[in-house]
A and B are shown apart, each in its own frame.
Chain A
């Protein structure tokens, strides 16, 4: 340890620390622009110049290593003179258009200028003007304001994993720009808005809406993927205006995915339902809550009475809150109905685990693994920030391998890769298991049949990376797989054998919470016809594994009540629409993939007559005359729903063995990924996200050989057909796919005519 004195305060720091590190530890603020704790050191803005005893010149705190006995002065004459000099340089070419700048009020340059700038400028030459750049639908530019700190450039390269911005040209002509004709397309690109210390990069959707100081800041939790990013939701006049990260090193660090950052736009969308509505003779009629709830209560009670309890079921999305799901389950229990399901995109319900499936460890622990094998996940699109963490770990030497149905680019160094058809993922995993068995001289559990499995080099090298300090992770493509139980069982056996931890990266914000309260009881609800259905937040055409089957089921039902913030998605098949609050308009709790329960409050009041779903369900219980429906608050519900420690109720261990056996591949198989911005109702309605490259229309994608076999070429139109339905799509070549794989995204209006996400598919040229 090295001793250092800064502004008279003494501390000791580890060798290799910089003066900036030491100052931060001491709570001494040194002005800075280019320095950022998560980025490499550029030492280029020179704002952090400080006086160091015995050094002939002021030194940049961010880049100067601490040496023993160093004495630093951050506010001495010499230091302040140097800092003021730099500030003057930064301001001479800066437009000083603060009154019309979106960054006004939250601008580092403005803040520091107040302390260090001169009242009047000595610069009387012409100011530089820099042309703006098109960075895509999320980020707007005012490049004349850029102070060349290069934070955005370093972010895209170092954190997002792929350099999408650069500092082109030299000297005064230096400009931050994307590559020629390209925009910034990273799934975590919006972070450059936070990183930009000035108003050069600002949020496009937010632009010119309000001034930063008019906004109040409220904490919340992201409702999308299983990470549970912590949010600051900024609000004006009961409207969400912007979402920013709330730093939480254990979860999202200081970042947000674009999905978490920009989905708020949907909250203010015109398709929000603001009043209860009932369909009468095919016409939608607005009504009051009391009548609507009485109607619903009556229908449900009557259906159960007339057709038995199995004729009624409830479907909820796994980003419904703990409180909502608990009340839904309780209401169903009151009616005697057992079928409550949140695993809407699952196709295999054979798996029974000893507890709620989860990451198997904390996110922070996972990042420290020696090796990670990801099975069935386009992880950058499923869990953008978790992918970012693993990328940083892989750069530090963690061995990252993947077993996937397409060669997704993780923008991280890979130690091993097995890319196979979706219907051969189990078999591929078995090769790794067999390799691990051979290496360890052990045999697999009896329920796993390895007799026909042939080990290959790739599986051997992946197996070799797995040690006691590693992890095997199952992603959404595994969870949605028709043989998920087998994947999980084989992965569990591999984990057992290698000592690795098995983890499940939960698809949605509350996938773990839903399991904890048992809102996943029935398996495939559509296996038998239903007379009445309750849909909580669910738009079955987008949220279910098999869109055709789901749509047929809701259409066949006599009565469908949809509790949903939006009317347009459910209008086709619902009989009653009850407008319920999205996450910003209700209190609630999500349990993230690491089993962490995170409660949040409503940040704005519900829109129109919207009500929190937990309250709606409580009143329904009251109308039905059930006991135990008198909760005063969502906290009371949560305390009952999650009573006791969560940790002991998390487990990926199999309760009963699942028979795993190799099957042969045949014909064409669909790879039905859920696109990044089709995940849930909010993302589907966020206009800026819908304008990104990731939201491009689904196409029929296949590799060149597969296309040739079908006599198709890129640009053709083709008709894809699956049991019961079809879709007309444009054909594209995709070199990342194995032979025989037809990539057709699910959860999208263009593909709701199709069936299972990983089911066989036939393809014909259209027209």
Chain B
């Protein structure tokens, strides 16, 4: 279920309309106006980037990096091929927003990429789409064709000298292929394994060429910003958390789904929008930003506003905006076992701490869950985590450690109970 509350990605989208994704509907909603204006007025690429900077838009893929700033990292004065890549690999457990963007408003992504191409000088782009949403990949291809037929995409866009080719590319479902450099390897036809950075993709990216890679929602925000203004976008949210955001709410709520709301909205309001706790149960904990974000207990969550700074201050992260709500029946040991299993299975395996450490973490949690915990296990978990975090090629290592740290910080007693009593505190 997708719910538009207030925002920019799904503004005016009628989710019930079978072809709400099509170009006519998009144009009716004001789509491609930004592109037309920029091409007609020959607005300088620097000015476009300035506008994006002014919007305070931060990457929606998890790391929250300021988008306008990222675009300036392309080598100055570089002549030659540059690429633009959209990351729709969306594999983080709990995150299901990007596929809805492709389902209901793919042209926002396409226009966003064309505008980004104008701003960065990239002439070829790819949208890397998660393998399990094949129909949406096909629909995206159809949308690309529509845009091309309408003269928005391809050679000499809108009769100008500006050209941009966009291709859809689908993966096969490996979570690691959402990591930007693994994604690039995968497009190149290689095994999806992250590259060591530096050099960053902006300097050495796809096929070794400068490449800008952004999340689907990030690109989908660009047309609105340029149609209106950066300032207006910024004003929708909070300082340092400009704009609105899609939150994928899942777990023990009555109406799980995507909610587009201004950044800074209190969590309590979001929980209300999602219909409150299912079966009237008590809220126990919330993972506010996707499975790699540290868990927060109910009392902290209920006083939280949903923006980058507030969540960071509370000791977690906004991440991709996946809000996993857990009620009082959830065993935190079991929950962590599931989370740890995911990272263990999804590690690409190239670097030692992640390849060896994620399995070790999982096995210990698994033992605890199955009544074979040992008193020293909790110290060991923390220590293994310290040996993984910050020492790997990509952030998957950290992503595997953060849930462990969050659980041990807020629910240590449940783990200790499990170890001491070989059974669950909860049920």
| CA A125 to CA B358, docked complex, whole Å | 13
Which of A57, A89, A122 contacts B352 (CB under 8 A)?
Answer: A89
> Which residues of A77-105 have CB atoms within 8 Å of chain B's CB atoms?
82, 85-86, 88-90, 92-93
Which of B351, B360, B383, B387 contacts A44 (CB under 8 A)?
Answer: B351
Q: Does A503 contact B (CB under 8 A)?
A: no
Q: What does the 1/0 interface line of B363-391 toward A look like (CB < 8 Å)?
A: 11001000000000000100100110011
Q: Does B349 contact A (CB under 8 A)?
A: yes
Q: What does the 1/0 interface line of A53-71 toward B look like (CB < 8 Å)?
A: 0001110100101000000
**Do A172 and B356 have beta carbons less than 8 Å apart?**
yes
**Do B352 and A170 have beta carbons less than 8 Å apart?**
no
Q: What does the 1/0 interface line of B52-75 toward A look like (CB < 8 Å)?
A: 000000000000000000000000
Which of A43, A49, A65, A93 contacts B356 (CB under 8 A)?
Answer: A93
**Do B391 and A170 have beta carbons less than 8 Å apart?**
no
> Which residues of A566-590 have CB atoms within 8 Å of chain B's CB atoms?
none
**Do B352 and A148 have beta carbons less than 8 Å apart?**
yes
**Do B363 and A125 have beta carbons less than 8 Å apart?**
yes
**Do B349 and A174 have beta carbons less than 8 Å apart?**
yes
Which of B196, B348, B359, B386 contacts A60 (CB under 8 A)?
Answer: B196
Which of B174, B344, B358, B393 contacts A43 (CB under 8 A)?
Answer: B393
Q: Does A171 contact B (CB under 8 A)?
A: yes
Q: Does A46 contact B (CB under 8 A)?
A: yes
**Do A46 and B360 have beta carbons less than 8 Å apart?**
no
| CA A485 to CA B29, docked complex, whole Å | 81
**Do B344 and A172 have beta carbons less than 8 Å apart?**
yes
**Do A44 and B352 have beta carbons less than 8 Å apart?**
yes
Residues of B within 8 A of A150 (CB): 350
| CA A576 to CA B407, docked complex, whole Å | 86
Which of B191, B386, B393 contacts A85 (CB under 8 A)?
Answer: B386
Given A44-B393, A46-B392, A148-B350, A171–B345 Cβ distance below 8 Å?
Answer: yes
**Do B356 and A170 have beta carbons less than 8 Å apart?**
no
Q: Does B176 contact A (CB under 8 A)?
A: yes
Residues of B within 8 A of A45 (CB): 351-352
Given A125-B363, A170-B176, A172-B359, A88–B387 Cβ distance below 8 Å?
Answer: yes
Which of A42, A46, A93 contacts B391 (CB under 8 A)?
Answer: A46
Q: Does A41 contact B (CB under 8 A)?
A: yes
Closest CB of chain B to A74's CB: distance in Å? 15
Closest CB of chain B to A752's CB: distance in Å? 48
Q: Number of residue pairs across A and B with beta carbons under 8 Å?
A: 96
**Do B352 and A42 have beta carbons less than 8 Å apart?**
no
Residues of B within 8 A of A90 (CB): 352, 356
**Do A46 and B353 have beta carbons less than 8 Å apart?**
yes
Closest CB of chain A to B395's CB: distance in Å? 11
Q: Does A167 contact B (CB under 8 A)?
A: yes
Q: What does the 1/0 interface line of B387-421 toward A look like (CB < 8 Å)?
A: 10011110000000000000000000000000000
| CA A172 to CA B349, docked complex, whole Å | 6
Q: Does B279 contact A (CB under 8 A)?
A: no
| CA A148 to CA B354, docked complex, whole Å | 12
| CA A306 to CA B417, docked complex, whole Å | 107
**Do B344 and A171 have beta carbons less than 8 Å apart?**
yes
Closest CB of chain B to A164's CB: distance in Å? 16
Q: What does the 1/0 interface line of A554-568 toward B look like (CB < 8 Å)?
A: 000000000000000
| CA A57 to CA B389, docked complex, whole Å | 9
| CA A49 to CA B346, docked complex, whole Å | 24
Nearest-neighbor residue (CB-CB) of B390 within chain A: A57
| CA A46 to CA B393, docked complex, whole Å | 9
**Do B347 and A172 have beta carbons less than 8 Å apart?**
yes
Nearest-neighbor residue (CB-CB) of A124 within chain B: B374
| CA A553 to CA B351, docked complex, whole Å | 64
| CA A80 to CA B394, docked complex, whole Å | 21
Q: Does A442 contact B (CB under 8 A)?
A: no
Q: Does A179 contact B (CB under 8 A)?
A: no
**Do B174 and A170 have beta carbons less than 8 Å apart?**
yes
| CA A49 to CA B353, docked complex, whole Å | 12
| CA A326 to CA B196, docked complex, whole Å | 57
**Do B356 and A41 have beta carbons less than 8 Å apart?**
no
Residues of A within 8 A of B321 (CB): none
Q: Does B198 contact A (CB under 8 A)?
A: yes
Residues of B within 8 A of A49 (CB): 391
**Do A92 and B356 have beta carbons less than 8 Å apart?**
yes
Given A44-B393, A88-B387, A148-B355, A63–B196 Cβ distance below 8 Å?
Answer: yes
Q: Does B357 contact A (CB under 8 A)?
A: yes
Given A93-B356, A125-B363, A125-B364, A167–B350 Cβ distance below 8 Å?
Answer: yes
| CA A123 to CA B377, docked complex, whole Å | 11
Nearest-neighbor residue (CB-CB) of A87 within chain B: B352
| CA A178 to CA B105, docked complex, whole Å | 45
> Which residues of B164-219 have CB atoms within 8 Å of chain A's CB atoms?
174, 176, 191, 196, 198
Which of B346, B351, B367 contacts A46 (CB under 8 A)?
Answer: B351
**Do B358 and A171 have beta carbons less than 8 Å apart?**
yes
Nearest-neighbor residue (CB-CB) of B359 within chain A: A172
Nearest-neighbor residue (CB-CB) of A56 within chain B: B390
**Do A58 and B347 have beta carbons less than 8 Å apart?**
no
Residues of B within 8 A of A42 (CB): 196, 350
Given A56-B390, A88-B387, A172-B344, A147–B350 Cβ distance below 8 Å?
Answer: no
Closest CB of chain B to A42's CB: distance in Å? 7
**Do A123 and B348 have beta carbons less than 8 Å apart?**
no
Residues of B within 8 A of A57 (CB): 390-391
- When A and B form their complex, which 9 residue pairs have the shortest distance between CB atoms, in order from nearest? A85-B387, A174-B349, A171-B347, A89-B356, A57-B390, A43-B196, A171-B349, A125-B363, A44-B350
Residues of B in contact with A (beta carbons under 8 Å apart): 174, 176, 191, 196, 198, 344-360, 363-364, 367, 380, 383, 386-387, 390-393
21 contacts between A and B (CB under 8 A): A43-B351, A46-B391, A49-B391, A57-B390, A57-B391, A58-B391, A89-B352, A89-B360, A125-B360, A125-B364, A125-B367, A150-B350, A167-B350, A169-B349, A170-B174, A170-B346, A170-B347, A171-B348, A172-B347, A172-B349, A172-B355
New contact pairs (7) apart from A171-B345, A171-B359, CB-CB < 8 Å:
A42-B196, A43-B393, A44-B350, A45-B351, A45-B352, A46-B352, A172-B344
